[in-house]
Structures are given as structure tokens and as C-alpha cells.
Amino acid sequence: MDKLEKLLQVVSDENIILHYDNSLPYQLEGLYVNIKDVGPAIFLLNSLKQNKSRHVEILGEELGHHFTSVGDSICNAATYRDQLDILKCEKKATDWSTNYIITNNELIKALEYGCNSYYEISEFLNVNEFVVRDKFEYLARKSSTGYVQLGSYKVILTNLPNIYLYKEL
């Protein structure tokens, strides 16, 4: 089962309505809403069907909103505080998506294969390079030491986008 199929299975398991359209408000590529008396729904641009890695990225983020967000974050923010709240919701959704799309075990496999750049990892895992970047940024935010141990590798996270790997001999 590839990554898109896994995400579509989550949509099905969660009873989320999935609808593709030619345009969405605010020039969005995806939109998650929870409609009273109808339930959760995800709207995606039709054009995403032509770009599988982008499709995975956007669908993953919208599922991230399903699992992490509360409230209305598509309206224009009236205050700076509103903007911060919207950005927090977006970051939580992206974090959920990134960790669902790229597990630590998959990242270890990519490193063991010899991948050592965002591009190489994205090609190996068949995901958008932005998802790989977000995964490393997430790991860096969660690390208090500046590195993370992934399998037999220490991945230095203090100089992203450069990835430094150390392997114990």
C-alpha cells in the first residue's frame, strides 16, 4: 500500500467525505471542514490528482487538521493573536501529517540506503521534498540536544537543510 492509499484508507476509516473540485476559496489546494449534521469533509483541488507527491502532502495536512485542529482557521485573521492561532493550527496539522507520511523507520531505511539530502530522501520515499524538510524541522524542534538518534545513526539537526550523519563504528 503506497502513501496515498494509506491516507485514503484513513479518510475511509474516519468516515470523512472526500470531494475534489476545480477551485477552492482563498486559493487553497485543500480544505478541511467539519459540517454540523453532515460530519467531517476534505475538499481538494482536482489538479492534485496529476501530482501524486503533492496530493499526498496536501491530503496529509488536511487529515492533520482532522486529528489536531479545533475551530475556524480559514477566515482572514483580524488580529495578530488570530494570526498566531491560525499558524499554530497549521503547524500542528503539518506535524501530524509529516509524522504519518514519513515514519522514523522509513527515515532510517532511507539513511541506510545512503540518502543524505532532502532530495535523495524524497526520491527514495516517493514524497514531496517539503514533507522531508518538515520532518527534519519537526525532529529539530523536538530535540533538546541538537541531534536525534535514528537507528544506528546520529542525525545532526543544528544546520538544516544540511544533514550530517554520524554512525558509531
φ/ψ of 92, rounded to 5, equals: -60, -45
Q: Quick one: pLDDT at residue 101?
A: 97
Q: Quick one: pLDDT at residue 72?
A: 56
Q: Which of 44, 47, 48, 42 is nearest to 63 (CA)?
A: 42
Identify the H or E element spanning 56: helix 52-68
Q: Per CATH, which fold does 3-101 belong to? A: Zincin-like (3.30.2010)
The Cα–Cα gap between 52 and 10 comes to 17
Q: Other CB atoms closer than 10 Å to residue 41's CB: what's the count?
A: 17
Chain position carrying cell 487538521: 65
* Domains in the chain: boundaries: 3-101, 104-167
Q: Quick one: pLDDT at residue 124?
A: 97
**Cis ω for the linkage preceding 161 (within 30 of 0):** yes
Chain position carrying cell 501530524: 96
Yes or no: say if 165 and 153 are a contact pair by the CB < 8 Å rule.
Answer: yes
Decide yes or no: CATH 1.10.30 for domain 104-167.
no
Q: Quick one: pLDDT at residue 141?
A: 93
Q: Quick one: pLDDT at residue 71?
A: 55
Mean pLDDT by 10 residues, the chain (169 residues): 95 97 91 91 96 96 90 67 86 95 95 92 95 95 91 90 84
